[in-house]
């Protein structure tokens, strides 16, 4: 990971603009803080591309565009790399962020960055209108950096997906796993599916009810998995419900948008999630400090009389 960061930092120093590709279904969780740090260190402007909008909730996408559009040195745009008309507007937008370079003499150099599996290579193929880069619905398809000409005035650099060392908020890890940015060996399907079900119960209960013909009132995450197994008749030998198959069904229905167009977080839900986690952590730290202070006071009280005992 350190080597990938170093390579990204070196390349970033040589480019004019960064296109950061995000997954429109989880724009906050798919924002790599390391990319922001490297980019701001070099003061490089950024076009944030919310990709896969064909799978995402349009209202949530509008809210995210507004939030990102207010960040310094950033423009934000929503696309589906599968729609040529969406992608056609990107070269001009990216070039507009580096007006000093936009001439026949100085080509605009654009680095396409993002976490794994958000669609960087698909986007590049669509921009150059040829299948130049390998793509696939797995993280880490792209293994090395590659440069591609985009007409005579621009060049695009594709790079491997970049993760960062520690995911600060546990729900981000679950969203990233649900959306396939994290490899299958790194997480437990059932835990991810239960968390996904819990989010869907809060944000899209009607979609769950419609797809699995179940009453969502009073259900919790594991209850959704059970309802899917029952509704589909998934059973293992002996007749018990097949929870594994129901788990895989929910994940696959979310990933393919068979459930509908879903965004797992909005700017507002993300803000309140962070506030809650931060407050719980602060409370835990305060309780630990209090415990430590009590222990220290007890230790002093025990050793005190002996230390100060008269001779
Ligand atoms: N529905 C939909 N799928 C997309 C879109 N863009 C990319 N994909 C799919 O997402 C998967 C990942 O695409 P890639 O282009 O390989 O992603 P990447 O970011 O280059 O991934 P790594 O190289 O592994 O980091 C593929 O299955 C693509 O077909 C999009 O706009 N909509
Ligand atoms: Mg790739």
Ligand 1 centroid to 189 CA: how many Å? 21
Summarised one tens digit per residue, pLDDT across range 114-172 is: 999 999 999 999 999 999 999 999 888 999 999 999 998 899 999 999 999 899 999 99
Summarised one tens digit per residue, pLDDT across range 80-110 is: 999 999 999 999 999 999 877 756 668 899 9
* pTM assigned to the model: 0.92
203 C-beta neighbours (distance < 10 Å), count: 17
Three-state DSSP class for residue 41: helix
pLDDT top residue among 217 and 1:
217
The domain 188-255 having CATH identifier 1.10.1580.10: the answer here is: yes
Ligand 1 centroid to 137 CA: how many Å? 6
Which of 81, 162, 186 to probe ligand 1 with, by most ligand atoms within 8 A of CB?
81
Burial 216-246 (b: 16+ CB within 10 A, else e): beebebebbbbbbbeeeebeeeeeebbbeeb
Ligand 1 centroid to 28 CA: how many Å? 18
| Ion ligand 2 contact residues with beta carbon within 5 A | 120-121, 141-142
Helices 189-203 and 170-178 meet at what angle, rounded to 10?
100
What does the domain layout of the chain look like in residue ranges? 2-158, 188-255
Query: Would you place residue 38 in the very low, low, confident or very high pLDDT band (cuts 50, 70, 90)?
Result: very high
Q: Is 22 in the pocket of ligand 1 (CB under 6 A)?
A: no
Summarised one tens digit per residue, pLDDT across range 182-221 is: 987 888 999 999 999 999 999 999 999 999 999 999 999 9
As a whole-number percent, the residues of the chain with pLDDT over 90 amount to 87
Helix ranges restricted to H, 185-220: 189-203, 205-212
Q: Is 139 in the pocket of ligand 1 (CB under 6 A)?
A: yes
Q: Is 51 in the pocket of ligand 1 (CB under 6 A)?
A: yes
154 C-beta neighbours (distance < 10 Å), count: 23
Helices and strands, number each (H, E), in the chain: 12, 6
Q: Is 142 in the pocket of ligand 1 (CB under 6 A)?
A: yes
How many angstroms separate the CA atoms of 54 and 51, rounded? 8
Query: For the domain bounded by 2-158, which CATH number is listed?
Result: 3.40.50.300
- Strands across the sheet containing 46-51: 74-78, 46-51, 17-23, 108-113, 154-158, 146-150
In this predicted structure, what is the pLDDT of residue 165? 86
Q: Is 124 in the pocket of ligand 1 (CB under 6 A)?
A: no
């Amino acid at each position: 990971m350190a080597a990938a960061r170093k390579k990204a930092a070196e390349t970033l120093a040589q480019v004019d603009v960064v296109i950061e590709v995000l997954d429109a279904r989880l724009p906050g969780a798919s924002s790599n803080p390391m990319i922001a740090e490297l980019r701001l260190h070099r003061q490089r402007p950024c076009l944030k591309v919310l990709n896969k909008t064909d799978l995402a909730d349009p209202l949530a996408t509008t809210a995210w565009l507004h939030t990102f559009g207010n960040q310094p040195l950033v423009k934000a745009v929503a696309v589906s790399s599968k729609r040529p008309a969406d992608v056609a507007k990107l070269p001009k937008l990216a070039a507009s962020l580096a007006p000093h370079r936009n001439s026949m003499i100085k080509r605009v150099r654009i680095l396409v960055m993002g976490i794994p599996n958000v669609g960087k290579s698909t986007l590049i193929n669509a921009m150059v209108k040829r299948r130049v880069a390998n793509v696939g619905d797995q993280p880490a398809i792209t293994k090395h950096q590659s440069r591609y000409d985009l007409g005579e005035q621009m060049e695009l650099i594709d790079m491997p997906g970049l993760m960062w060392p520690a995911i600060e908020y546990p729900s981000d890890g679950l969203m990233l796993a649900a959306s396939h940015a994290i490899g299958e060996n790194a997480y437990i399907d059932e835990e991810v599916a239960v968390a996904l079900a819990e989010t869907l119960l809060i944000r899209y209960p009607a979609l769950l009810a419609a797809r699995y013909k179940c009453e969502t009132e009073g259900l919790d995450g594991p209850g959704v998995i059970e309802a899917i197994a029952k509704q589909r008749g998934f059973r293992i030998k002996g007749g018990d419900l097949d929870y594994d198959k129901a788990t895989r069904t929910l994940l696959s229905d979310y990933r393919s948008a068979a459930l509908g167009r879903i965004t797992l977080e909005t700017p507002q839900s993300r803000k309140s999630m962070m506030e809650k986690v931060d407050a719980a952590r602060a409370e835990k730290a305060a309780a630990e400090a209090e415990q430590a202070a009590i222990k220290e006071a007890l230790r002093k009280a025990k050793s005190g009389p002996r230390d100060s005992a008269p001779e």
